[in-house]
């Protein structure tokens, strides 16, 4: 579990995060959503220790980050997996080398142990047999699965995903969403996803934090987001013609039920 209490972050005279508190639960897909400039990226970077809030605390299973020693912070980094926007694979490395990179960096495992673990996670993301291929030789969806395999290869307690469906077609996006959700449950990971993809929100949004102008405007799950009367959420969720029609149908169904 990751808990943030009243965090504030400014850059110069601009306050980006304004007293946000939230709990990201273990074994659930926790989503941070909001329009561009709402503070999503700054929040993720604050959770990762890239930015330091001026006010408030961030704790990992009760361990307050600001009170950790340098050694404790280094240990925490080994407990974190990261799926970057665009996958961020090393072009000059094979799939096998990309996935095994964290093990070589953060563990003392022997080459055979690394190879066995790499094969294990590649099988988990349905990429067995792709070891010797380079990123340029596989599809965008496969690259994303390699990025997920690399993120979980070191058995992380915490998994962060930055726009994991960026650049993917809708069908592949659903596959990636389901894979992240399955892995979260299977390994009991605290997963935090920064996304603007409403399909992801409705597919795997077990705990959703909606930011607006640096504040937490709303919190709930994928069922509650469809029923909320919060104006800001309605404008965000139903910004496309497709979701406007979904809302119209939901309201029509509610009216029909009320008239019975």
DSSP 74-125: HHHHHTEEEE-TT----TTS-HHHHHHHHHHHH----HHHHHHHHHHHHHHT
**Residues near 256 by beta carbon (within 8 Å), at least 6 away in sequence:** none
Q: What is the per-residue pLDDT for 243?
A: 67
- SS3 assignment, position 153: coil
Ramachandran region of residue 224, left (φ > 0), alpha (ψ -120 to 50) or beta? Answer: alpha
Q: What is the per-residue pLDDT for 86?
A: 83
Q: Please check the confidence at residue 183 and state whether its pLDDT lies above 80.
A: yes
Structure tokens at 225: 């987001």
Count the helix, strand and coil residues of the chain and give each as a percent rounded to the nearest 5: 45, 25, 30
- When pLDDT is averaged across residues 175-201 and rounded to a whole number, the result is 93
Q: Please check the confidence at residue 240 and state whether its pLDDT lies above 70.
A: no
Strand-pair category, 80-83 with 14-24? unpaired
Alpha-carbon distance of 78 to 247, in angstroms, equals: 43
pLDDT in tens, 27-58: 999 999 998 889 999 999 999 999 999 999 99
Q: What is the per-residue pLDDT for 87?
A: 86
Count the residues in the chain.
Answer: 260
Asked if residues 158 and 136 have their Cβ atoms less than 8 Å apart, the reply is: no
Q: What is the per-residue pLDDT for 85?
A: 86
Q: Please check the confidence at residue 179 and state whether its pLDDT lies above 80.
A: yes
Asked if residues 131 and 163 have their Cβ atoms less than 8 Å apart, the reply is: no
Alpha-carbon distance of 255 to 260, in angstroms, equals: 9
Q: Please check the confidence at residue 257 and state whether its pLDDT lies above 80.
A: no
Asked if residues 96 and 132 have their Cβ atoms less than 8 Å apart, the reply is: yes
CATH architecture of 2-79+156-259: 3-Layer(aba) Sandwich (3.40)
Strand-pair category, 158-162 with 80-83? parallel
Q: How confident is the model at residue 11 (pLDDT cuts 50, 70, 90)?
A: very high
Alpha-carbon distance of 243 to 241, in angstroms, equals: 6
- When pLDDT is averaged across residues 167-175 and rounded to a whole number, the result is 88
pLDDT in tens, 102-155: 999 888 999 999 999 999 999 999 999 899 999 999 999 999 999 999 999 999
H or E element in which residue 245 lies: helix 241-259
- When pLDDT is averaged across residues 231-243 and rounded to a whole number, the result is 78
- List the chain domain ranges: 2-79+156-259
> For 10-14, 104-108, 149-153, 251-255, which range has the lowest pLDDT when averaged over its residues?
251-255
Q: Please check the confidence at residue 15 and state whether its pLDDT lies above 70.
A: yes
Q: What is the per-residue pLDDT for 252?
A: 75
Q: How confident is the model at residue 90 (pLDDT cuts 50, 70, 90)?
A: very high
Q: Which residues pair with 220 in a beta bridge?
A: 208
- When pLDDT is averaged across residues 210-221 and rounded to a whole number, the result is 94
């Amino acid at each position: 579990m990751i808990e943030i209490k009243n965090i504030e972050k400014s850059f110069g005279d601009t306050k980006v995060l304004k007293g946000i508190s939230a709990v990201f639960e273990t074994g659930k897909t926790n989503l941070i959503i909001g329009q561009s400039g709402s503070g999503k990226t700054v929040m993720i970077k604050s959770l990762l220790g890239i930015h330091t809030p001026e006010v408030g605390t961030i704790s990992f299973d009760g361990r307050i980050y600001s009170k950790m020693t340098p050694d404790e912070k280094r240990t925490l980094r080994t407990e974190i997996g990261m799926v970057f926007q665009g996958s961020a694979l090393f072009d000059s490395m094979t799939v096998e080398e990309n996935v095994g990179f964290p093990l070589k960096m953060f563990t003392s495992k022997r080459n055979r142990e690394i190879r066995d673990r790499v094969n294990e996670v590649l099988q988990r993301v349905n990429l067995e047999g792709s070891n010797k291929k380079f990123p340029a030789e596989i599809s965008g969806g496969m690259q994303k699965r390699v990025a997920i395999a690399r993120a979980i290869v070191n058995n992380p307690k915490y998994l962060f995903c930055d726009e994991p469906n960026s650049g993917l077609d809708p069908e592949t996006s659903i596959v990636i969403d389901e894979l992240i959700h399955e892995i979260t449950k299977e390994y009991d990971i605290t997963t935090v996803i920064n996304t603007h993809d409403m399909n992801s929100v409705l597919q795997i949004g077990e705990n959703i934090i909606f930011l607006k102008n640096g504040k937490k405007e709303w919190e709930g799950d994928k069922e509650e987001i469809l029923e909320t009367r919060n104006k800001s959420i309605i404008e965000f969720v139903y910004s496309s013609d497709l979701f406007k029609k979904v809302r119209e149908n939901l309201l029509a169904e509610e009216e029909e039920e009320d008239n019975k």
